[in-house]
């Protein structure tokens, strides 16, 4: 009985190593395919920047003193941060579900909170890594200054957390790849494209301005942009509250889903 007893409850491992291992696995998972998960979104953002800047450079200034190309950069960075945070948790979960290997995690003593925290942190890190890479590359082409670094960090962090959480919900809910693709194409893409990445919502007709205020992506993009230029379409405090509140609500929903075992434990 000696060997068997060595796995005694009394020497049960420190509770930190379990979720840390899951986080490490999630990070390695995207890092192993960094060409697809980091390099590809950086190239895409850069293409957007080159094309839109070329086509719309004559558009003039969006805010006073901010040329269009400069205006575009933070929006593109934030859009990529959000999309990649979502992609990380959602694709990892749907792949593990379809492949069946999620069972290896479900069999462990990890709590629902630890599960959530690991997937969330991995999504945030992927989002931030992609964002940072785009910033560094864009820096070579465009002269960008950061007016308020704290706001930039806060929005990048909260935004990727919100979308990472949304990705976990989508990953738990979807049973097939086409359902996930629908989520991506019919929810994430329209919300991010209509959030004011490529324009200031003040250039929109009043009705669409109002509609934009219902889009949570708008607050993330605008708040992030305020961090760069010190000005935006609305107060960053409102944006922070909306994004922070939305994150809390989604996090609670996700934790409830995980605790109940929704779609994961029959």
Partner 1 sequence: MNPAIKINGIHKSFGNLHALKGIDLTIEQGEFFALLGPNGAGKSTLISILAGLIKPTAGDISVMGFDVVNQYQQARQLLGVVPQELVFDPFFNVREMLRFQAGYFGRGKENDAWVDEILEGLGLADKAHTNMRKLSGGMKRRALIAQALAHKPPVIVLDEPTAGVDVELRQMLWEFIKKLNREGHTIILTTHYLEEAEALCSRVGMMKQGEIVALDSTANLLNKFAGKKLRLTLGDVSLPNHIQSLLRHQEKGIFTFALTDMAQIEFVLSSLKVADIRVLDMHLSEADLEDVFLSLVGKAS
Taking CB under 8 A as the criterion, the residue among 61, 101, 179, 185 binding partner 1 is: 101
Nearer to partner 1, 111 or 148 (CB): 111
Nearer to partner 1, 203 or 260 (CB): 260
Tell me if 103 contacts partner 1 by CB under 8 A. Answer: yes
Q: By C-alpha distance, which of 259, 25, 35 is closest to 122?
A: 25
Tell me if 186 contacts partner 1 by CB under 8 A. Answer: no
Cα 126 to Cα 103: distance, rounded to the nearest angstrom: 24
Task: Judge whether 264 and 169 are in contact, CB under 8 Å.
Answer: no
Tell me if 266 contacts partner 1 by CB under 8 A. Answer: yes
Say which residues have a Cβ less than 8 Å from residue 32's Cβ, sequence separation at least 6: none
Taking CB under 8 A as the criterion, the residue among 28, 189, 249, 252 binding partner 1 is: 28
Say which residues have a Cβ less than 8 Å from residue 227's Cβ, sequence separation at least 6: 74, 146, 147, 148, 149, 150, 151, 152, 153, 154, 155, 236
Tell me if 4 contacts partner 1 by CB under 8 A. Answer: yes
Tell me if 108 contacts partner 1 by CB under 8 A. Answer: yes
Burial of 206 (0-12, 13-18, 19+ CB in 10 A): exposed
Taking the complex as a whole, how short is the minimal distance between the CB of residue 19 and partner 1, in angstroms?
9
Task: Judge whether 131 and 80 are in contact, CB under 8 Å.
Answer: yes
Cα 1 to Cα 22: distance, rounded to the nearest angstrom: 30
Tell me if 9 contacts partner 1 by CB under 8 A. Answer: yes
Nearer to partner 1, 22 or 221 (CB): 22
User: By rule CB under 8 A, what count of residues binds partner 1?
Assistant: 39
Tell me if 57 contacts partner 1 by CB under 8 A. Answer: no
List interacting residues with partner 1 (CB under 8 A): 1-7, 9, 12-15, 17-18, 20-22, 24-25, 28-29, 32-33, 96, 99-101, 103-111, 261, 265-266
């Amino acid at each position: 009985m000696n060997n068997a007893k060595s796995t005694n409850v009394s020497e049960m491992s420190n509770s930190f190593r379990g979720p840390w291992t899951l986080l490490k696995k999630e990070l390695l998972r995207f890092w192993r395919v960094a060409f697809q998960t980091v390099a590809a979104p950086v190239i895409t953002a850069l293409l957007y920047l080159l094309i839109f800047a070329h086509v719309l450079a004559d558009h003039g200034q969006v805010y006073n003193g901010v040329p269009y190309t400069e205006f575009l950069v933070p929006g593109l960075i934030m859009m990529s941060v959000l999309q990649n945070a979502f992609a990380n948790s959602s694709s990892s979960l749907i792949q593990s579900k379809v492949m069946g290997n999620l069972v290896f995690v479900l069999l462990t003593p990890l709590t629902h909170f630890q599960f959530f925290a690991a997937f969330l942190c991995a999504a945030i890190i992927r989002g931030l890594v992609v964002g940072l890479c785009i910033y560094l590359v864009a820096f070579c082409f465009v002269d960008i200054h950061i007016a308020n670094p704290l706001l930039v960090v806060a929005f990048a962090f909260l935004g990727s957390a919100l979308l990472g959480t949304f990705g976990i919900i989508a990953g738990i809910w979807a049973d097939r790849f086409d359902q996930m693709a629908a989520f991506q194409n019919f929810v994430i893409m329209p919300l991010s494209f209509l959030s004011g990445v490529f324009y200031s919502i003040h250039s929109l007709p009043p009705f669409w301005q109002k509609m934009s205020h219902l889009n949570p992506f708008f607050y993330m993009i605008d708040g992030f942009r305020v961090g760069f230029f010190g000005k935006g379409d609305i107060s960053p405090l409102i944006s922070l509250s909306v994004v922070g509140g939305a994150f809390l609500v989604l996090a609670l929903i996700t934790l409830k889903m995980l605790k109940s075992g929704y779609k994961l434990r029959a």
